[in-house]
Amino acid sequence: MKSNQSQRRFVPFTFLAVVVLAIAAGLWWAANRTGEDSSTPAADDKSALQTVRVALAATEDLDGDAADEAWSRLRKMRPDDVAVTRNWALNRLLIVDRLAEQTENRSLSADQRQAARTALPDRIAEANAAVEAFGSVQPDGNVLTRWMKARVDVRQAALLPAAIARGATRRVFDDLADFVLEHPDKDTVILAGTIWDLVNRMGIIEDLPADLRDKAADVLTQLAESNPDNLFVAVQAAQLNLAAQRPAAAPAIENAARLAKAIQPEMKARAGGAIESIDGLVAQMLDDIAQQDWQAANRGFGIWFNLVNASELMKADRRRASPHPLDRISFETIRQLSIEAENESPVQALDSTLSFRHVVIDDSTDTRLVIPVDLNVDLRPDLVSVSDQNEITLWRQSNGGDFERIADGPAGIKVTGMMATDLFMVDRAAPDKVKVLPPADPDATATPDFSVGLRHNVVPTLVVYGDEGIRLFGMDGRDTTADDRRLFAVDAATGLEDVRNVVKVVAGDLEGDGDLDLVVATRNEGLRLFINRGTRRFFEVEAPATGTMVDLAIVDIDRDLDLDIVAVEEGSGTIGLLENLLHLQFRYRVLSGAPAMPDAQRVFVDDVDGNVSWDLVVSGKTGGQIVWSQTADAGMWTVDSVSKNDGPMINGLLVDFDNDSFGELMHATEDGSLKCTHLTSEGFGATRAVQGDDMVVDVWHAADFDNNGRIDRCGVDRRGIVLGMNTTENDAHYLQVRMKGIDDNNAASGRVNHYAIGSTLELRFGPHYRSKVITSPMTHFGLDGIDQADSLRIIFPNGLTQTTRSPAVDTLVEEEQTLKGSCPYLYAWDGETFAFVTDCLWAAPLGLQVAAGVVAKDRPWEYLKVDGRFVAEKDGRYHLRLTEELWEIAYFDHVALTAVDHPSGVQIETNEKVGPPSIAQPTIYAFDQTDMQPAAAARDTGGNDVADRLADVDGRYVQGFDRRIVQGLCPPHWIELTVPDAALQRRDAGEAVYMVLTGWILPTDTSLNIQIDQNDEMPPIEFPGVWVPDGDAGETKMPGWRPAIASMGFPGGKTKTIVVDVTDALVPEDPRLRIRTSAQIYWDAAKFTSRRGDDALVVHKLTMETAEVGYRGFSRRIRASLQQPETYDYHTADADPRWPPLRGSLTGYGDVSDMLARWDDKMVVISGGDEIRLTFKVPETPVPDGYVRDFVLHCVGWDKDADLNTLAGQSADPLPFRHMKSYPPTVADQDAAAQVMRSHTASRSRRQSFRRFWHRP
């Protein structure tokens, strides 16, 4: 091992925050699934670890036989492992479920369905045996065993004759119901879904025998009482009590309405204007019950139920009450085996004594608080302190490590806490935004230091708070800054003026729009949520009622990509979750299984055991606890177990001080001494005194003040402001990560806050996995004796991912920008390769909000011209590929290809453009190439001559804007074209004049649209229109010009050509046109022409011979310049998942030709990594002499970006359909929507794998 001195090196890694590269490799399948079984148990842990990985992967892939073989082998290797037996039984449940589904799948042949029926009894017997084996190793009354047994019994009853099946079903129901009534425990909630299913299997609720209905109502009512935060259970309890016409219906409805309060905006949108008030609807139901008008009450409940039933909240709670067998899979075995594998590597939790050397920065005894802040962005932490007189002081650190007092100012309130964070939109220029630009390089020949450009360059805003409210301060610690501008109060209105009694403030991007919002814990009003407009001005959104929270931690706890808040209640120590439901909807619930810890003070989020699931570390006056968890799927975070430490752990601070890769919890004891408790993957380790500490500090803060790779701390004690410089000696390595959101005008994105707060960092090294939530500018990983990390992956708050492999020491990594959502790609076989052609479905976005609550219209059909140079015959066919490579879902209902033969001197174009149907009616234009003339003159917004660059389609794009505000939005810009005389003469002769434009657009997405909408300083996007000179136009956006065509359409996505009829827009005496827009559009060519007759065209509608869905992966991206769109190399692809998995089912792999043959609401649903492989028969008629062949691709379908602000964007559901009035469908379309969903049950047989994206080595 290298010497300690040689290893103390500063290793910053800086990333651009809107960037995606290939992510870390997925689960390693390792062994052949059909490997030989062994008749003797294997003691080799490595073999067991390999086998459990295979077993888990096969189970998740629903490869039941392969999984059963692996679990059976593991039972021999580890006969006493309860988790192995549990998973073995759960896999056998999955086998039974799959066979039962096949017996009812009408898309299968009669023989296939019969084969499933024949196999089912034996599989049920095997499942029963496995469940009994699991039950034998569990305590009496185990809820999971009951749940497993009931699922098997339900399947078995379904095989019986109808008369006998009813009795068997009733017996299963009675058994479960009696168990629940005898065990009023919270854990029995997993039986609720099975009970509800059994009730429905026995008939229509209103027609059930009274005793059965009453018993079911009693059971669901008890489950609702023991699980007061589960909406699904509450709704079913209300429905059963209402059907039974019991007085308990009223409180049951009130309870359900209370839980649904968080999603009232979503419910009202789904109502589509049919309901004036959700609260009014509930009040009317209660009044009907009071009047015993049960028919009216049931009618009202039916309306309310339809509004809530399709919500993601209802789906999430339904899954908690009716879990999938995969949700109950235990990862305890792989966790334990991984720990054993880790223990064989150099990384082992150190339990050596920590030591610190104390440096007094200021010996004033009236200082109350201090925090580390980089005041001049030089990577050296500085300090901000507050005195007893509520005076704020800035302390700047010099190169030599000394601290200089550089500014003072009154706080204006009594300060009890403070934090520093960037509260501006990431790329927004603002008068008070302090941005540090790198100095100009005097030596133009020197090698540029790219690290300077990647370094954080925005000084954060100081947030101070207390009982008197919140105040914001700007800070600027640069030498060149005037004294009165180093610390200044934000005097403008912030929207925080009425906040009082503040206990805690944390920052996070709650709605994924690229700026940081504030979560405020108050003493009298619970949690309050303030949404940032991107300019340090906030508006408040409704938060659920809570108590006083003493500490908050921001994290995407359930890995569903939205940020949640873990909270600890003052006094009781109850641990709760402010759960993000998207679209600024939140609910609060107590975390089931996480016990309250009285007088808790701090909560930390950390994956302590490295099982890819966030654990909670809680500390306080009565002790500490680790809440171990597992996350089986997105939205399915559950508590696994709890480890406790009984000794007082006052004012805890969780940091890896000794670089062993595990955190140390530094805390005070009752006698005032400072201790450190080491954490390990198995729980709390040794507790030791901290050398050099003889004082008590209320709050410590961590930072690497001397940049030596060992974390130091700062605080205030009786001596004043004190630094604790870490002098702990060992040979451990480390990695420090700095994240930066892009903020320059060439690459501005606005998607991720400047410091990437709330992002998840994953570090893989050897067999080890560590992850952290970014909460400060620098995130620290200890590596112990590992010399090199394998990969570092970042998942940003908006779902973008970025990976760097084998991060090297002393290296800064710059990544390139890409989109997270756009549209499916089209490739075609050109005789040598599958060439990238363009993207498609651009006019049919689903759930795309152009402002809050305002959804873009969709046009599901398009006609794309495909140049003949891209399409060549192969084996008598034309071969196309439609790929989905971004974070989105594509729905293809119909695909057709037409060959168009035309004279070689004729150019054909379609009328395709983004816009309403009225401007994009299907048309094939035929233009004589000799008549197509470039503009007589062409200038850009700055008056520059761009005629040569617009003369031909050659990839020399004109960028009319000099900067952009955010991705997709620029200041208004234009190209000014002078119409050639020949075109004017044709107009005078009565002919139409067409403008033929070629270009591409880089769009906004829903989150950017929401950001723009919230910020009243940012104008909405102005899409391209045609303007003409008019001296009498009056006051317009462009003096002397008026709009002649307000909306002309625009090319969708990658390079495309659009045709615009400008005949009626021309002003003969001044034949200039301006194509004005504020969208981020680049123009390649502009020509004018007249249309010639299309009688010379020979059109062939081609026969689709094959169409199949398969998995391919993600193409290598190619981009020649910032002005050119990305293209893709089809033949260089990465098969590893690039995007977080989305919910819902996708079309199964295989033949889909019938589904694409016509527009009939039978669609192919694909997502990231999928492709549709298409072949079309070549026409029997050859291309005539003197002719050439181009093509028109007709697609019918939709595309849905997975952006967090896209409505229903995180799921493949609901499916769109031809005659829907809006998306997501409202109650007016609910019957048609349900029918479309049912018609795709058989074809949608596949889901994206959670574990292939979220995995450990």
* 325: Cβ contacts below 8 Å, ≥ 6 apart: 90, 91, 93, 94, 97, 151
CB contact at 8 A, 396 and 477:
yes
Please tell me the distance from the alpha carbon of residue 310 to that of residue 1136, in angstroms, as a whole number: 32
For the residues 48-64, what does the mean pLDDT come to? 90
One domain for residues 898 and 1002 = yes
- Bridge partners, residue 922, by sequence: none
Closest by Cα among 981, 980, 933, 941 to 961: 941
Q: Is the pLDDT of residue 281 over 80?
A: yes
| DSSP assignment string, 611-668 | SSS-EEEEEETTEEEEEEEEESSTT-EEEEEEEEE-S--EEEEEE-SSSSSS-EEEEE
Residue 450 lies in a domain: no
Please tell me the distance from the alpha carbon of residue 315 to that of residue 235, in angstroms, as a whole number: 12
Per-residue model confidence (pLDDT) at position 61: 83
Residue 711 lies in a domain: no
Q: Total structural domains in the chain?
A: 4
pLDDT in tens, 1170-1218: 999 999 999 999 999 999 999 999 999 999 999 999 999 999 999 999 9
Closest by Cα among 539, 585, 434 to 1015: 539
User: Which has more pLDDT, 821 or 986?
Assistant: 986
> 2: buried, middle or exposed (CB in 10 Å: 19+, 13-18, 0-12)?
exposed
Q: How far apart are the first and last CA of the chain?
A: 24
Closest by Cα among 791, 812, 811, 789 to 802: 791
CB contact at 8 A, 325 and 87:
no
* The model scores a pTM over 0.85: yes
Q: Is the pLDDT of residue 190 over 80?
A: yes
One domain for residues 792 and 831 = no
> 292: buried, middle or exposed (CB in 10 Å: 19+, 13-18, 0-12)?
exposed
One domain for residues 181 and 282 = yes
| HSE of 1116, CA atoms in CB hemisphere, 13 A | 5
Rg (CA), the chain: 32
CB contact at 8 A, 754 and 740:
yes
Q: Is the pLDDT of residue 452 over 60?
A: no
The distance of Cα 349 from the centroid of its chain, to the nearest Å, equals 33
User: Which has more pLDDT, 1250 or 810?
Assistant: 1250
Closest by Cα among 561, 300, 343 to 1142: 561
Token duo for residue 51:
């086998």
For residue 338, give the H/E element and its range.
helix 332-343
What percentage of the chain carries pLDDT values higher than 70? 90
Per-residue model confidence (pLDDT) at position 433: 55
Angle at 779 between CA 776 and CA 781, to 5 degrees: 155
Please tell me the distance from the alpha carbon of residue 230 to that of residue 252, in angstroms, as a whole number: 12
CB contact at 8 A, 1004 and 1021:
yes
CB contact at 8 A, 815 and 801:
no
Ramachandran sector of residue 832 (left: φ over 0; alpha: ψ -120 to 50; beta: rest): alpha
The pair phi, psi for residue 429, each rounded to 5°, is -80, 140
Residue 931 lies in a domain: yes
Residue 61 lies in a domain: yes
What percentage of the chain carries pLDDT values higher than 90? 75
pLDDT in tens, 909-963: 999 999 999 999 999 999 999 999 999 999 999 999 999 999 999 999 999 999 8
Query: Considering 744, 772, 805, which residue would you say is the last residue of a domain?
Result: 805
Ramachandran sector of residue 1126 (left: φ over 0; alpha: ψ -120 to 50; beta: rest): beta
Per-residue model confidence (pLDDT) at position 706: 94
- Bridge partners, residue 491, by sequence: none
> 590: buried, middle or exposed (CB in 10 Å: 19+, 13-18, 0-12)?
middle
DSSP-based three-state secondary structure for 959: strand
Please tell me the distance from the alpha carbon of residue 732 to that of residue 763, in angstroms, as a whole number: 16
| DSSP assignment string, 1061-1106 | E-GGG--TTS-EEEEEEEEEEEEEEEEEE-BPPSTT-EEEEPPEEE
For residue 1250, give the H/E element and its range.
helix 1250-1253
Average pLDDT, the chain: 89
Per-residue model confidence (pLDDT) at position 786: 83
Closest by Cα among 811, 777, 820 to 792: 811
Specify the DSSP class assigned to residue 962: S
Query: Considering 777, 805, 833, which residue would you say is the last residue of a domain?
Result: 805
pLDDT in tens, 616-665: 999 999 999 999 999 989 999 999 999 999 989 999 999 999 999 999 99
Per-residue model confidence (pLDDT) at position 693: 65
Q: Is the pLDDT of residue 8 over 70?
A: no
CB contact at 8 A, 543 and 527:
yes
Residue 632 lies in a domain: no
Ramachandran sector of residue 85 (left: φ over 0; alpha: ψ -120 to 50; beta: rest): alpha
Closest by Cα among 883, 901, 836, 824 to 1095: 901
One domain for residues 1028 and 886 = yes
- The model's confidence at residue 821, banded by pLDDT at 50, 70 and 90, is low
Residue 1160 lies in a domain: yes
DSSP-based three-state secondary structure for 1146: strand
User: Which has more pLDDT, 90 or 62?
Assistant: 90
Token duo for residue 263:
């999603």
The pair phi, psi for residue 360, each rounded to 5°, is -85, 120
Domain limits for position 41:
37-138
The distance of Cα 1041 from the centroid of its chain, to the nearest Å, equals 44
The pair phi, psi for residue 207, each rounded to 5°, is -100, 0
Please tell me the distance from the alpha carbon of residue 703 to that of residue 725, in angstroms, as a whole number: 10
Per-residue model confidence (pLDDT) at position 28: 30
- The model's confidence at residue 455, banded by pLDDT at 50, 70 and 90, is low
Q: Is the pLDDT of residue 347 over 70?
A: no
- The model's confidence at residue 746, banded by pLDDT at 50, 70 and 90, is very low
Per-residue model confidence (pLDDT) at position 458: 84
CB contact at 8 A, 742 and 817:
yes
DSSP-based three-state secondary structure for 379: coil
CB contact at 8 A, 1159 and 1194:
no
Query: Considering 272, 301, 329, which residue would you say is the last residue of a domain?
Result: 329
Please tell me the distance from the alpha carbon of residue 1131 to that of residue 1134, in angstroms, as a whole number: 10
Percentages of the chain per state (helix, strand, coil), in multiples of 5: 25, 30, 45
For the residues 551-575, what does the mean pLDDT come to? 98
Residue 578 lies in a domain: no
Per-residue model confidence (pLDDT) at position 205: 87
One domain for residues 16 and 43 = no
Residue 505 lies in a domain: no
- The model's confidence at residue 376, banded by pLDDT at 50, 70 and 90, is very high
Closest by Cα among 571, 572, 578, 627 to 603: 627
One domain for residues 1072 and 1215 = yes
One domain for residues 1130 and 1206 = yes
Token duo for residue 180:
């629940």
CB contact at 8 A, 971 and 745:
no
* 364: Cβ contacts below 8 Å, ≥ 6 apart: 387, 720, 721
> 875: buried, middle or exposed (CB in 10 Å: 19+, 13-18, 0-12)?
exposed
One domain for residues 780 and 852 = no
pLDDT in tens, 681-724: 889 999 998 877 665 567 789 999 999 999 999 999 888 999 99
One domain for residues 765 and 914 = no
One domain for residues 752 and 887 = no
Per-residue model confidence (pLDDT) at position 812: 39
The pair phi, psi for residue 414, each rounded to 5°, is -80, 115
For the residues 225-251, what does the mean pLDDT come to? 97
Among 437-446, 666-675, 983-992, which is the least confidently predicted range?
437-446
One domain for residues 123 and 229 = no
One domain for residues 743 and 874 = no
CB contact at 8 A, 927 and 906:
yes
Token duo for residue 506:
């944390």
Please tell me the distance from the alpha carbon of residue 121 to that of residue 435, in angstroms, as a whole number: 70
Closest by Cα among 1075, 1077, 974, 942 to 1020: 1077
Token duo for residue 1249:
């794998």
Q: Is the pLDDT of residue 37 over 50?
A: no
pLDDT in tens, 298-312: 999 999 999 999 898
> 903: buried, middle or exposed (CB in 10 Å: 19+, 13-18, 0-12)?
middle
Token duo for residue 458:
């925005």
Please tell me the distance from the alpha carbon of residue 532 to that of residue 512, in angstroms, as a whole number: 11
pLDDT in tens, 1107-1128: 999 999 999 999 888 899 989 9
Please tell me the distance from the alpha carbon of residue 1110 to that of residue 1166, in angstroms, as a whole number: 9
